[in-house]
Amino acid sequence: MIIYGIKNCDTVKKACRWLDANGIAFEFHDFRRDGLDENIITTWLQTVTWHDLLNRKSTTWRQVDPAQRNALNADSAIQLMLTSPTIIKRPVLVNGDKMIIGFNEQNYMALLK
């Protein structure tokens, strides 16, 4: 199981604390430190849509040129996520072929217990 995010994100911290408290082993992949490649994102896109991955409430999203935001499609969204990974909703929990975006205790329990 891998949890993707950035170490200073409060939601990522909350998810990691929950996993630790429930004795669930996981690997942490920091977007900033460990990077992110197209393979990872395209694998995620087999489970969710690029719309689901983009955090339209983030500071990073607000900094994207409005013309670029309006012209987004799957390919340009992938490129945007690669160049600005903090635009991805966090955390992204991957457990085998299952995936959860964000942290919700009930969703984590349903997937992991």
Tell me which of 1, 9, 64, 72 is the catalytic residue: 9
Q: Taking Cα atoms as reference points, which of 43, 49, 96, 56 lies closest to residue 73?
A: 49
Q: Is the peptide bond before 91 cis (omega within 30 degrees of 0)?
A: yes
16 a catalytic residue:
no
Catalytic residue numbers read: 9
